[in-house]
Structure 1
Amino acid sequence: MDSTLTANLIWAAAFLADLAIKVVALIAIPRRRKPTAAMAWLLAIFLIPFVGILFFLLLGSFRLPRARRDEQARIDDLIAARVADAGIDTGADAADWPRWFRRVVTQNTALTALPAVTGNDARLIADYDASIAEMASAIERATRFVHVEFYIVSLDATTAPFFAAMERAVKRGVVVRLLADHVASKRVANATETFAELDRIGVVWAWMLPVMPMKGKYQRPDLRNHRKLVVVDGLVAFMGSQNLIDRTYNAPKNIARGLKWQELVVRLSGPVVASVNTVFLSDWLIETTNLVDEEHVPAAAVPVTSGQLVCQVVPSGPGYDMENNLRMFLSLIYGATERVILTSPYFVPDEAMVYAITTACQRGLEVQLFVSEIGDQGLVYHAQRSYYGVLLEAGVRIFLYPEPYILHSKHFSIDDDIAVIGSSNMDIRSFSLNAEVSLLVRGRSFVTAMRDVEQEYRQAGRELTLEEWRQEPRKATFLDGLARLTSALN
């Protein structure tokens, strides 16, 4: 065959393949996807068709496989049935709640099946080592079971007391179960030694969202379980932003930069502990197919504390059909009447969140945002910065937590009596791609304690002004804009 003809045929085939990719992309990608995400994917595919479609095939599915979603729905039905059988009541004071807050609780219950319950106590722990010490202390007192679930699990000098407490619990005959995210925990420096130690001390453990295609376990590899929680005997629970690892994450690049993570954890007692335990049992059932019914503790069986906090646990993630955390965050911000104070290490909001925050400013509310002055993830850091201008212009006060600390806490407060704390960042990844868990709290005493934490952030850092931001070099803001485009690829 003539070489010119061969070349022409190759070019024609490539052209037709390129055209076919773009036509199929225009039809398939916008379906059930946010316009910003669809536009970002289409832009990538139109600019680099063959590479773009390869990445889309690897990362384009923002939901877990249908079987996992069906199992989550089945578990939610089971939870709803048990809640109904137990006759759980949110409390006599529900009639005194603001009407809009009651609607938020109703929304959360409809999405997750977990109710709001009263009679709870909650205490914030801002010290990194102290939170691990308190969790270890609770495990030391365990008599029935210990449930541990973390995005990252690592044995090191900081977490050694926690591992030692688990070992002693096992020796006492306490069942200790542990879930760890497969991708995140496998990539830490001493992963092999960590899980060998769990085997040695007798902890029963399993991977969350394992990426093991040879074993038939596969989904989009960056759909991760980002939850962090500990439950002891169904009586005490811990939730928050902190992973089970040293605050440097034992990463050479972090150690070289002197980076340290600043976290916030909440210790819970009261009926809400049953809901935290339900999240663990649900994940355990999904990952192991083992129903641990004997360790299901009904909320009605958990002693009411002297505290009177209303608490509701809200799990979210790609196993659900809705973005549970985002919907709750938006409802709370729109319900606020005085102030909204946000803390998130990775703040890359979608359009709805930006509108909610800037609208709060236009309604005359005090709105503040706490973020880190430096970042540990380049793309996310620059994508986050790309929102500073519009927020500052709207009237949001932005406070930068100083280096060498990464402000990794994830919480926000509404007015004087409503707050949220948990594992969820305020970014597109946490809204759509990660399994997260948040705690909604109504109670003035709890918000007062959170205000003290916020004040510590203020005193430690500095405020970024609009005038200062307008002096940013064009090169930096150009990188911010590019990073913002990639953040929508979900």
Structure 2
Amino acid sequence: MTLIPQIADFWLAVELIIRVVALGIVPENRRPSSSTAWLLLIFLIPVVGLPLYLFLGSPWVHGKRFEQQVAANRATLEYTRSLPDAPQGARPSPQLDAVLRMNRSLTGLPCVTGEVIALHSDSSATYEAMARAVDAAEHHVHVEFYIQSWDEVTDVLYDALRRAAARGVDVRLLVDHLGSRKYPGWRHFGRRLDAAGVKWRLMMPLLPLKGRFRRPDLRNHRKVLIVDGTRAFIGSHNLIDPSYHLRRNIRAGREWVDLSVEVTGEIVLEAQAIFAMDWFFESGEVLDLEAVAPELSPEAAKELALRFDGEVPVVPLGQGPVVGGCAPQPGRPAAVVNAMQLVPSGPGYPTEPNLKMFLSLIQNATKRVSITSPYFIPDEALLSAIQSAAYKGVEVELFVGQESDQFIVNHAQRSYYSALLAAGVRIYRYPAPAVLHAKYMTVDGEVGVIGSANMDFRSFALNYEMMLLAFGGDLDDLLRDNDAYYRSVSTELTAQEWAAEPWHRRYIDNVCRLMSAVL
């Protein structure tokens, strides 16, 4: 009996030591909100909070994978050292030029040229467009998507990959392990790829019995398809039926609404470089990019530079881009050269390139900022930048879904609405039962950014992401046209309406906001 008080005293002393040590360790290189949430968990339940922090507390990869990422970043910087920060003929504003230089210093990728072939929304039409591109492949096809499922909707694309492999095209495919394994057909997915002749690897696999273990909260969320190094699809689409095969979605008629851009030109080489890094991390194979990259002759480079300033021909009806899977738009300019730059980010980039890009673009805005993000949980700096822009008189609008597929994220996102509305931000909610999943931003009618990253801490630090920045061409115009469509079908949330929200929902919102910071 006398041991019980001694054990209790010992345990109290251990808990006190844990709390004191945590005070000096947890806040290091961490956002204040995240530090507060972790400390609260550790102080309230040390026996739970400390193990969780030791396992999940650091947002960055370590060891071999981090060393590989650092080496890859250095190699990219060295490989592109001779290239200018922006292509000849491009005329970024001084503020945008500084952003381009910052992006390059953080990722090694300069601003190059590219052209928009199409903007894709409808999932079935997007997969059909991808299949047509794959059917034209002569050398290789590279596929990298967070979630993949070989189902009735995506069969058109996977069948095209099978045909490509059968005619001797090298088809390589990367799929996130935890991102895809919970969907129907996963048990047979790998075998079907093997039978189709596709070379495939798991991204961030969680296979401890095979000696392949990764932290389960670090994922590869990138979404890109590359054909022959000349054409690429970049955006928010996963390769899966838009209902995600979930019964509750099918019963409710709920489908994901995405947006991807199909591009050609030099920018595709940057997509190749990012794929090559990820392929090396998972397979150990070094891809010879020079062997598969199309050469740009001096004459072609000169022509591209001139086309930044020259008159642009008009496309006849039926030859323009596809928007939302609909018919091409008459009178849209063809062969419009954009200045483009890919910005990768993730656990291997402690500098958080995408967050810094978003912050800089918003802070430099003078007229208009439009943000579309399905999971909008800004950190202190991003929230302040958006509020400050609105207070300066910049028109700021945010497109989010009326419903989200994630309970905690949905309520955490709602907790920011009061502060945004008070600053004058206009919030548009895309109607349920659809889940708005597109991820892009436009600034001042000058810059468009589209890709896989949400505006939340997970996308800035825990997920490998990829965003495409473009200016001086037509991508920004196309994205703003898409804004107009979203605006026409969405409902604007007013400050008066939000003030009438019941207190118990506000309470849930705030609890989820705190939980979302424990990362």
Give the structure-2-normalised TM-score.
0.91
Q: Which one of the candidate residues 64, 86, 93 is aligned to 2:89?
A: 93
Deviation at 1:199?
1.0
Distance in 2, matches of 1:297 and 1:83, equals: 17
Distance in 2, matches of 1:296 and 1:277, equals: 12
Higher mean alpha-carbon deviation, 480-489 vs 299-308, is at 299-308
SS in 1 for 2:143: strand
Equivalences for 1:458-469 in 2 at 5 Å?
458-469=487-498
Q: Which one of the candidate residues 437, 448, 453 is aligned to 1:419?
A: 448
Match of 1:312 in 2: 341
Distance in 1, matches of 2:104 and 2:274, equals: 14
1:36 and 2:65 matched: no
Q: Deviations over 1:156-189 (max 9, x none)?
A: 0010001100000000100000001111111212
Q: Which one of the candidate residues 215, 232, 236 is aligned to 1:237?
A: 232
Deviation at 1:429?
0.8
Q: Is the 8 A contact 1:62 1:220 kept in 2?
A: no
Deviation at 1:57?
2.3
Equivalences for 1:140-179 in 2 at 5 Å?
140-179=135-174
**Count of aligned positions:** 485
Match of 1:248 in 2: 243
Deviation at 1:335?
1.2
Equivalences for 1:435-474 in 2 at 5 Å?
435-474=464-503
Distance in 2, matches of 1:458 and 1:410, equals: 15
Tell me the amino acid that sits aligned with residue 486 of structure 2. Answer: Y
Q: Which one of the candidate residues 178, 181, 184 is aligned to 1:186?
A: 181
Match of 1:68 in 2: 65
Distance in 1, matches of 2:58 and 2:86, equals: 37
* 5+ residue gaps, structure 1: none
Equivalences for 1:72-471 in 2 at 5 Å?
72-84=69-81, 87=83, 90-94=86-90, 96-293=91-288, 297-298=292-293, 301=296, 306-471=335-500
Distance in 2, matches of 1:296 and 1:388, equals: 50
Tell me the amino acid that sits aligned with residue 396 of structure 2. Answer: V
1:24 and 2:53 matched: no
C-alpha change, 1:294 and 1:446, in structure 2 (3 Å) is closer
Distance in 2, matches of 1:218 and 1:388, equals: 38
1:10 and 2:2 matched: no
Deviation at 1:33?
1.4
Give the structure-1-normalised TM-score.
0.96
Deviation at 1:307?
2.3
Deviation at 1:258?
2.3
Distance in 1, matches of 2:114 and 2:158, equals: 31
SS in 1 for 2:376: coil
Distance in 1, matches of 2:378 and 2:214, equals: 25
SS in 2 for 1:37: helix
Distance in 1, matches of 2:364 and 2:211, equals: 45
Q: Is the 8 A contact 1:148 1:177 kept in 2?
A: yes
Q: Is the 8 A contact 1:399 1:463 kept in 2?
A: yes
Distance in 2, matches of 1:407 and 1:443, equals: 27
Deviation at 1:444?
4.8
Deviation at 1:120?
2.9
Tell me the amino acid that sits aligned with residue 314 of structure 1. Answer: V
Tell me the amino acid that sits aligned with residue 106 of structure 1. Answer: R
Q: Deviations over 1:199-241 (max 9, x none)?
A: 1111000011112223333232111000000000000000000
Distance in 1, matches of 2:114 and 2:438, equals: 26
Q: Is the 8 A contact 1:399 1:461 kept in 2?
A: yes
Distance in 2, matches of 1:299 and 1:423, equals: 26
Q: Is the 8 A contact 2:114 2:263 kept in 1?
A: no
Distance in 1, matches of 2:211 and 2:26, equals: 26
Q: Which one of the candidate residues 498, 504, 509 is aligned to 1:480?
A: 509
Q: Is the 8 A contact 2:229 2:294 kept in 1?
A: no
Distance in 1, matches of 2:493 and 2:85, equals: 45
Q: Is the 8 A contact 1:61 1:220 kept in 2?
A: no
SS in 1 for 2:233: strand
Q: Deviations over 1:4-57 (max 9, x none)?
A: x12112211221221122122122211221221111100001111111112212
SS in 2 for 1:247: coil
Distance in 2, matches of 1:475 and 1:296, equals: 61
C-alpha change, 1:216 and 1:28, in structure 2 (3 Å) is farther
Distance in 2, matches of 1:127 and 1:434, equals: 25
Q: Is the 8 A contact 2:143 2:224 kept in 1?
A: yes
Tell me the amino acid that sits aligned with residue 266 of structure 2. Answer: P
Distance in 2, matches of 1:339 and 1:137, equals: 37
Distance in 2, matches of 1:300 and 1:371, equals: 41
Q: Is the 8 A contact 1:337 1:415 kept in 2?
A: yes
SS in 2 for 1:409: coil
C-alpha change, 1:401 and 1:72, in structure 2 (3 Å) is same
Tell me the amino acid that sits aligned with residue 391 of structure 2. Answer: Q
Q: Is the 8 A contact 1:277 1:296 kept in 2?
A: no
Q: Is the 8 A contact 2:173 2:199 kept in 1?
A: yes
Distance in 2, matches of 1:77 and 1:167, equals: 36
Q: Is the 8 A contact 1:313 1:440 kept in 2?
A: yes
* 5+ residue gaps, structure 2: 305-334
Distance in 2, matches of 1:41 and 1:109, equals: 33
Distance in 2, matches of 1:261 and 1:140, equals: 26
Q: Deviations over 1:101-159 (max 9, x none)?
A: 00000000000001101253353112221111111110000000000000011110010
SS in 2 for 1:93: coil
Match of 1:58 in 2: 55
SS in 2 for 1:31: coil
Deviation at 1:299?
7.2
Tell me the amino acid that sits aligned with residue 74 of structure 1. Answer: A
Distance in 1, matches of 2:240 and 2:509, equals: 30
Q: Is the 8 A contact 2:85 2:104 kept in 1?
A: no
